[in-house]
Structure 1
């Protein structure tokens, strides 16, 4: 996942206010929290589970949020400076307008697209960032020309679709990087991106080692700026 190169590309600096969107198990938080402790501020934005109508999804977010809270509470030396803010997916608000230097999202956009609130999320990012602030996006990359329907099923999105979302919200594309590219990913797996590590949802009868050898998905790495 090349975190050092990825965060350097996005312009991470120790004095910034950084919002990490849906940190999940805190893989990146474990790197960001120590880097920002003291001079900066790390905010983890998590879904308000109580506002989620679908029972299965609500249960998932409840478990995920509690797991992250437990992780933070269990290691104050690392996470002591990190705060959490809940947002509603229908009208996401990530903090005071113009308060953040950097918003980061890793492998999340396909979930928002699949559930119909991707535009609302990007509008929320634009609102919370300062003028000149950066939105950093890492996402599973589909081949250009892949339909939205196929993308939703596979977990991959085209670069042009993600760039379009950001530009519609008001962002300007500053730079692209191939830091997280994986040319070995054929993107035609039976269970979509989840066939590959780290999930490894391998179809019955197939060789797991084949997918482990491919590695994690081919990913776009996009840097946007709020004018």
Structure 2
């Protein structure tokens, strides 16, 4: 019986490593809570839009609890390389320390899936090397730009992306989307950034915009909530107040932008 259990586990892991993106989103190592967010985060369509292939070197920026890690790590396991550029463990910000500790705990719980993950750190000016210079095929970041704008570190962060990518490499960005007329201070306050701001920051770093998609758009979201983007799921910062209204809207309206590092 024990041998059967071991064999079944090995077979399941082998199938996960060999799976398509569609199969990986339904794999048993992803929690029901993670799968429930596919409706809003569209991982298969998003990764295909960014042209992420199984043999690439991919850097994910600030992966948080590892939502995309659960897809990217097994996708790249056999032929590619996955860097998780997380918070530094010696940060003086308690949330950063807790987050990276929880992330590493997640990796340790499924070594058969995550033992190839390479954890680096990003937090300028002390931590800027997210992968060896000129080695990454893709750098991907999901809903992080507002944090860097708030900290005044956007320029340094985008410079790190540029340094890590190969010439011809792709920077993929998904971010909460604000109306273009919204002042920068208000963007930072609400967590919604304008496409113009994000594009300008990328271009200032040397990137060229090559495509954009409405994959992660949500026309129900007018980006005008009392607690900013955190009013909506999954945060629901207002608790039960108007909860049904915000759950009916769903997660935020998001831009999806693809940039290239010129050859």
TM range (shorter): over 0.9
Larger Rg: 2
Which structure has the higher relative contact order (CA within 8 Å, separation 6+)? 1
Is 2:91–2:97's contact at 8 Å kept on the other side of the alignment?
no
C-alpha separation in 2, matches of 1:32 and 1:157: 26
Which residue of structure 1 aligns with residue 201 of structure 2?
Answer: 165
Which residue of structure 2 aligns with residue 55 of structure 1?
Answer: none
Q: Which structure 2 residues correspond to residues 23-34 of structure 1 after superposition, within 5 A?
A: 23-34=63-74
What is the root-mean-square deviation of aligned Cα atoms in Å?
1.1
Verify: 1:174 aligned to 2:210, yes or no.
yes
How many corresponding residue pairs? 221
Which residue of structure 2 aligns with residue 45 of structure 1?
Answer: 85
**Where in structure 1 are there 5+ consecutive unaligned residues?**
53-57
C-alpha separation in 2, matches of 1:137 and 1:95: 18
C-alpha separation in 2, matches of 1:217 and 1:226: 28
Q: Which structure 2 residues correspond to residues 80-119 of structure 1 after superposition, within 5 A?
A: 80-91=115-126, 92-119=128-155
Q: Which structure 2 residues correspond to residues 69-218 of structure 1 after superposition, within 5 A?
A: 69-91=104-126, 92-202=128-238, 206-218=241-253
Which residue of structure 2 aligns with residue 61 of structure 1?
Answer: 96
* Secondary structure in 1 matching 2:193: coil
TM-score, scaled relative to structure 2: 0.82
**Where in structure 2 are there 5+ consecutive unaligned residues?**
1-40
Which residue of structure 2 aligns with residue 225 of structure 1?
Answer: 260
Which residue of structure 1 aligns with residue 34 of structure 2?
Answer: none
* Secondary structure in 2 matching 1:50: coil
* Secondary structure in 1 matching 2:52: coil
1:122–1:156 CA distance, 2 compared to 1 (3 A): same
Is 2:59–2:131's contact at 8 Å kept on the other side of the alignment?
no
Q: Deviations over 1:36-81 (max 9, x none)?
A: 00100101001224244xxxxx110110000000000110122121
C-alpha separation in 2, matches of 1:178 and 1:88: 29
C-alpha separation in 2, matches of 1:84 and 1:30: 14
Moved more, 43-52 or 171-180: 43-52
TM-score, scaled relative to structure 1: 0.95
1:79–1:49 CA distance, 2 compared to 1 (3 A): closer
